[in-house]
Amino acid sequence: MRRHVLLTAVATGALLAFSSVALAGPILVKDGSTGAPVRRVQSLLIEQGYLSGTADGICGPATVKAIRSFQSDRGLTVDGICGNGTFRVLNGGKDYEGGQTIRVQATAYTSEDPGNSDHTYTGKKLRRGMMAVDPAVIPLGTHVYVPGYGDAVAEDIGGDIHGHRIDLAFESREEALRFGRRDLDVYLED
């Protein structure tokens, strides 16, 4: 009986912890980001005296500098990027409401791979910053931030790309092999 109660308590705690993580909205504001998340971060930075002007939704040098100053003053890692941790402190302990993140398996490819051409499904010349996706999961044209890779645009599809899987384009076979295969969260940008 005691073991059953303990297991039930552990399972309930795990469910609550998972639920709170799942409900917390992801945010990633970095140099070059645009859209509603940037406007929200800029508004908070303006309210707290770290940024002047208006919240235009474009993260440029002034916004990055303001994020860095805020992070420095609060003892956070100073990288000029407003992710979930920085945002939570900036927003008085509250998570970001909005944005989307998807857990995917990421692989790498080049035009040098056997059977590949140097053009994508959408007719563009293959280059770093493009990715192959399953359009049912990530629509073609979607801008995505991939940790460990950077910004990418869904501009290709592939015969083996199904479900939560992406294939990131690299310039050289060596770079692609170095990236390998990774399970990670990608951020769909507004």
How many domains are contained in the chain? 2
| 6/92 same-domain check | yes
Tens-place pLDDT, residues 89-100: 999 998 887 667
- What lies within 8 Å, CB to CB, of 83 at 6+ separation is 27, 28, 29
Average pLDDT over residues 70-95: 94
Last residue of one domain, picked from the residues 36, 69, 98? 98
- What is the CATH number for 118? 2.40.40.10
| 81/144 same-domain check | no
Q: Which domain holds residue 13?
A: 1-98
Last residue of one domain, picked from the residues 41, 74, 98? 98
Q: Which residue has the tokens 């998570």?
A: 95
| 55/115 same-domain check | no
| 181/105 same-domain check | yes
Tens-place pLDDT, residues 97-140: 766 788 999 999 998 888 788 888 888 999 999 999 999 999 99
| 69/146 same-domain check | no
pTM: 0.58
| 112/145 same-domain check | yes
Predicted local distance difference test score (pLDDT) of residue 25: 63
| 20/58 same-domain check | yes
| 7/72 same-domain check | yes
Last residue of one domain, picked from the residues 76, 98, 120? 98
| 90/132 same-domain check | no
- Over its C-alpha atoms, the chain yields an Rg (Å, rounded) of 20
